[in-house]
Amino acid sequence: MDALEKLAEKNRAHRKHIDAERSSLVLILLGLLPFYVDLVYSFIKSDSAFPQTLIFAVISCVGSLCYSYPILAAVDISLFSKKIKAITLIITQSWFIYFWVFSSLPLVAFIPLIPVYTIVRRQLPKIRAKIENGGYDL
């Protein structure tokens, strides 16, 4: 009977890791959403030849990643509930997509980084305390 309990415990731990991996994958796919939207929009609107579209795709990818990775990291380590994290991610990504892709104001697209950084900076002592106590799984 003891072996069955150990096996059940391993199965629960495995399910927990699978769920965490699945949510991480969804977050990464959402984080790359501006890049996908930008590529599709540029291929629809652009009449450029191959080298120009490739250069534009690289610039778009670098800009999107420079925005998405800090946002994803900040949303991941913040101490809010998962619903608030998801809403924050959707709002910031929508802002970025609008100003990065459809508007001619690419610098305005990076403005949400400021409040997100400020929120994480204010939560940093609590995050550190939670990590030190072992209650936070990075």
Residue 87 lies in a domain: yes
Assess whether pLDDT exceeds 60 at residue 138. no
Residue 137 lies in a domain: no
CA distances from 116 to 16, 76, 77, 84, 96 (A): 28, 11, 11, 13, 13
Q: Which whole number is the average pLDDT over 38-66? A: 77
CA distances from 42 to 35, 38, 52, 55 (A): 10, 6, 11, 12
Residue 77 lies in a domain: yes
Q: Which whole number is the average pLDDT over 96-112? A: 87
Residue 96 lies in a domain: yes
Q: Provide the residue range defining the domain that includes 64.
A: 2-132
**pLDDT for residue 67:** 86
**Domain count of the fold of the chain:** 1
Residue 116 lies in a domain: yes
Q: What is the pTM assigned to this prediction?
A: 0.73
Q: Which whole number is the average pLDDT over 22-42? A: 82
Which tens digit of pLDDT belongs to each residue from 74-98? 877 778 887 888 888 888 889 988 9
Task: Measure the CA–CA gap between 113 and 96, rounded to whole angstroms.
Answer: 10
Assess whether pLDDT exceeds 80 at residue 113. yes
The answer to whether the CB of 33 falls within 8 A of the CB of 97 is yes
